[in-house]
Amino acid sequence: MSQPAPLPASLPADDRLIVALDVPNVVQGLEIAQRIGDQVSFYKIGLGMLTGGGLALANELKQEMGKRIFLDMKFFDIPATVEAAVRGIARFDLDFLTVHGDPHVVRAAREGAAGSGLKILAVTVLTAMDRADLDASMIVAGEMADIVTERADRAFAAGADGVIASPHEAARIRALPRAAGRLIVTPGVRPAGSAANDQKRIATPGDAVRLGADHIVVGRPVWSAPDPVAAARAIVAELAGA
Ligand code: C5P
């Protein structure tokens, strides 16, 4: 078998790559970001770090290290509460925030983000859910792919700047007329040869972008790699060829 070509010693960061910092606290998050340095320009901070200083880390990475920040909070509540929560977050000068894709939630989030640069990304259907889970939640009958696409379309109609979807759904969403100028952000991305972990419907970074993703979210294959800089650089190199 032929060996892949060696990677260049350095490459500029590519903000299509968002690294999910799924570590429990700000100390570990900062340590990883400092270790990775200039090779990654965009980080995702999620609910797992809420009690470990997630917002403080987001601020530090943004203000002190110049990184872009995706805050993955997946808000869902009555409109007034969503609007107030998003307005509070919009004051922090971050880049992306997730809410569930229900139209009333998306509309309220847009109100809360008004006047800021914060982009609202809508979650369509959580990728960990299958049809049985949808049944248990009394969600309308039908194919998962159709439901995801319809939820994306309704979220766009309600004003979402983008949606979160698996790479396998990206192409159908990209084809929606309302998707023009909107973002598609895909987790479930695995460089060839890396462990799938608990992700079920995976695609490589290059394929995710070819299917219509504007940004890919990759967590463990970067931050838990023996050499996170090399892991990130390999993804950036793959994106450059996509
Ligand atoms: O380590 P890994 O690359 O699997 O991390 C993927 C990240 O994307 C995690 O933070 C996970 O919570 C998030 N995510 C996901 N699937 C979704 C939404 C978010 O994997 N549908």
Question: 181, 173, 84, 165: which is closest to 122 by C-alpha?
Answer: 165
- Other CB atoms within a 10 A radius of the CB of residue 63 amount to 12
200 is catalytic: no
> So what's the pLDDT on residue 4?
60
Backbone angles phi, psi at 162, to 5 degrees: -175, 180
Tell how far the Cα of 178 is from the centroid of ligand 1, in angstroms.
25
Q: What is the mean pLDDT of each run of 10 residues along the chain (242 residues)?
A: 64 95 94 96 95 94 97 97 98 97 98 98 88 89 92 98 94 97 96 85 93 97 95 95 85
Q: Atom 8 in ligand 1: which residue has the minimum CA distance?
A: 187
Can you tell me which atom of ligand 1 is nearest the CA of 46?
Answer: 10
For position 33, what pLDDT does the model report? 97
125 within ligand 1 shell (Cβ under 6 A) = no
